[in-house]
Amino acid sequence: MSPAPLDSRAVSSSLDSIHISPRTPTAMRAARRSADTDEGEEVELTLLDDDERSRAARGLSDVDSLGHIDGPKPKRSLSVKDRKAMVLLIILYLIQGVPLGLALGSVPFLLREHLSYSQLGVFALSNYPYSLKLLWSPIVDSIFIPSLGRRKSWIIPMQLIIGTMMLYISLNVQKLLDNPGDNLYELTFIFTSLVTFSATQDIAVDGWALTLLSQENLSYASTCQTIGLNSGFFASFTVFLAFNSEAFAEKWGIPRLTLSTYLKFWSVICYGVTFWLTFFEKEGKESIEDSEMTISSVYKTIWNICKLKHIQALIIMHFFAKVGFQANDAVTALKMVEKGLGREDLAIAVLIDFPFQIVGGWLAAQWSSGNTPLRPWVLAFWPRYFFVVLTLFIVYYFPQPPISRSFFIFLVIQTVLQSFATTIQFVGISAFHTRISDPLIGGTYMTLLNTFTNLGGTWPKYFILKGVDYFTVATCRVDDDLLVKASECVSDHGKALCADINGECITERDGYYWISGFGLAFGIVFLIGYVIPTARRLQALPVQAWRVHNE
């Protein structure tokens, strides 16, 4: 499911007809079920057939040190209903990916020429709401307009707000980007709001996916998210950067795509999909009728979930698992552009990689089914660490521009293989979350799990970007003489002073290599000492071990 459900519309709707449901949608079904069945009988969010499910519940699956299981995996067919549901989910995730691609991708590249890494760290705070949506997910689960539906009550207004915000940014983008240093906090606030609304929608979409897809095909929810989010993200990142490049537009004889035009286009798409969703897509009654749990009860349930020892171990694992390759994810592409790689070349490389990610997401969904969804997730750490080392050498020995065709092909291959490992991890951990999530609180359990996953990739970014500047030593030289007046050439202020006296900034120590090295060392130690044994233990647990029975 969503990496931490990309819930995008955290709008506190001021609609008069808003309905506060006393319970979450599936809780009443659980209450009725408990009257007829034993306490231990649970509805499983699992990808297994009946035989494998019973074996997993008894904890008797045969697993090896990394969780291998013996026996063939059942093949699942997709019904027409599931196919339509997948199309809907992909479209909704696509819309969520557009603002994320702007905030996490293209806008930092547009700002890099004018801002230091420390200032980019401030802008990176706009990514945090996506990782913290758990704080308001119970509200999204419990408050809705009956005539619209539990999930559509949030998805529709969120898409309207996102479309309107993108329209607003498109009309003011020139003012904001002309002097980004002076408008840094305004830019951060605007994109923080945009990501917040996107995160709110994701909560609703994640919850809807649990009922849109049939039980045996729930693993494809993460596939829908991979396709949809990646499509939206890369449209806003790589595709936009390519068509925004003057060199690319001149080479192909096409008009340059401005950020203003791009945002206006997607605002129209948001309005169009919202219209279609409002009048032509109906939400199943089961998701709005069986409701019993109050908002406070949902928060209490979340607290009870967090008190489970298994969840606590999972939280620790998620919180630190991505530290090892965060510098690579956050800084490497910026460094390559700094070294002379054209933004359009970077965009083309990632664009070529896109179809491979789609295929990779589909394959990873197959590999992550069964009792051991964490196995591919764990194994993919090693290639990701390998690519951290490889990219350090690529940046260090980056050739003088223009780069040769052979080197560009090498970059494309490296990008494809690295993103394939990333996709395997994303789909694998999402499939594991889908398997263990308790449907009794709608999308909140899933949001809880994905929140910790996303937070693990978000919280280090600010400190990494700050650390790059902190460990960097650069001085200003004029005619080969060290100029004491402008000895510091890391901050924007120092660079401006150096430029005023026609000096050149000379980097004597690049903090990028130091931060990458620290992160890599920590990541490998944490992987061997904690992640591998913990993942092996957690995926061997029966599904009932992840359930909370409120008193």
- The tens place of each residue's pLDDT in the chain, 551 residues long, gives 444 333 333 333 332 333 323 333 333 333 333 334 343 333 333 333 434 334 434 443 444 434 444 444 455 567 787 888 888 899 999 999 999 999 888 898 888 878 888 899 999 999 888 888 888 888 887 888 878 888 888 999 999 999 999 999 999 988 888 788 888 999 999 999 999 999 899 888 887 887 787 777 777 787 888 788 888 988 898 889 888 888 888 888 889 999 999 999 999 999 999 998 888 877 766 544 445 557 787 788 788 888 889 999 999 999 999 999 999 998 998 899 888 888 778 777 877 887 777 777 777 777 766 667 788 899 999 999 999 999 999 999 999 888 888 999 999 999 889 988 998 888 888 888 888 887 666 566 777 887 888 889 889 999 999 999 989 888 888 765 544 444 567 766 677 777 777 777 888 889 999 999 999 999 999 999 999 999 999 988 888 888 876 54
Q: What's the length of the chain?
A: 551
**Cα separation, 244 vs 246, whole angstroms:** 6
Strand 143-144 with 19-20, pairing: antiparallel
Sheet (strand 473-478) strand order: 481-482, 473-478, 504-509
Sequence ranges of the domains in the chain: 19-69+78-472+510-546, 473-509
Report yes or no on whether pTM surpasses 0.75. no
Q: Residue 283 has what pLDDT?
A: 74
Per-residue tokens: 402: 């223009």
Neighbours of 472 (CB within 10 A): 20
CATH class, domain 19-69+78-472+510-546, is mainly alpha
**Cα separation, 523 vs 534, whole angstroms:** 15
Per-residue tokens: 506: 């000379």
Q: Residue 11 has what pLDDT?
A: 30
Alpha helices in 437-479 (DSSP H): 444-471
Distance of alpha carbon 180 from the chain centroid: 25
Mean pLDDT across the chain:
78
Q: Residue 391 has what pLDDT?
A: 95
Q: Residue 154 has what pLDDT?
A: 92
Distances (CA, A) of 500 to 111, 302, 503, 507: 21, 56, 7, 18
